[in-house]
Structure formats: C-alpha cells, structure tokens
Amino acid sequence: MAKKKIEILVDKFSITAVGKMEELQSLQNKKVNDFEDGLEYYAVQSNGCNVIITEDISNFYFSSIPVFNSKFFLEKYLI
C-alpha cells in the first residue's frame, strides 16, 4: 500500500537534489535558523520549483517562494 502511494507521488512530483552550493547558501544566510530548512529552500530555488510543501510553514519565514501545507496544496491545485 505505501509503495503504491509513493509510486503515485513519484509520477506527479519531482524530488530535487541537494549539493554543495545549497549547503553553503544555507550556512551563509543569517536569516536561516534551521540548516535543513535552508537546504530545502535552496534546493527548491536552484531547481526552479514554484512552491514548498511542508507541515512546518513557520520555519520558512525567510522564503520568497510560496510555502503551503499539504492540505492547502491539494485543495488548491489537485481537487
């Protein structure tokens, strides 16, 4: 069951790569308090994504990219 759900997601969404550049950007941005959130943000940014989907919206206060929780995203774009 879980594999089937993941298969559906993989068909619809892409997962971005994280490299040295994203690591350095996350470390150098003084607005970023959580390194992992910074990695996510810069991976999204460098791969030309339009939105960040997370259940931790408040951690992306520094984002210039729209940030949605999964429920809002699904209601807005898929339903």
Q: Express each pLDDT in 52-69 by its tens digit.
A: 999 999 999 999 999 999
Q: Which of 78, 3, 79, 49 is nearest to 67 (CA)?
A: 49
Would you say 15 and 42 are in contact if contact means Cβ atoms under 8 Å apart? no
Place of tokens 């959130």: 37
Q: Express each pLDDT in 32-46 by its tens digit.
A: 999 999 999 999 999
Q: Which of 42, 39, 37 is nearest to 54 (CA)?
A: 37
Alpha-carbon distance of 73 to 65, in angstroms, equals: 14
Going from N- to C-terminal start, the domains of the chain cover 17-78
Question: Helix, strand or coil for residue 17?
Answer: coil
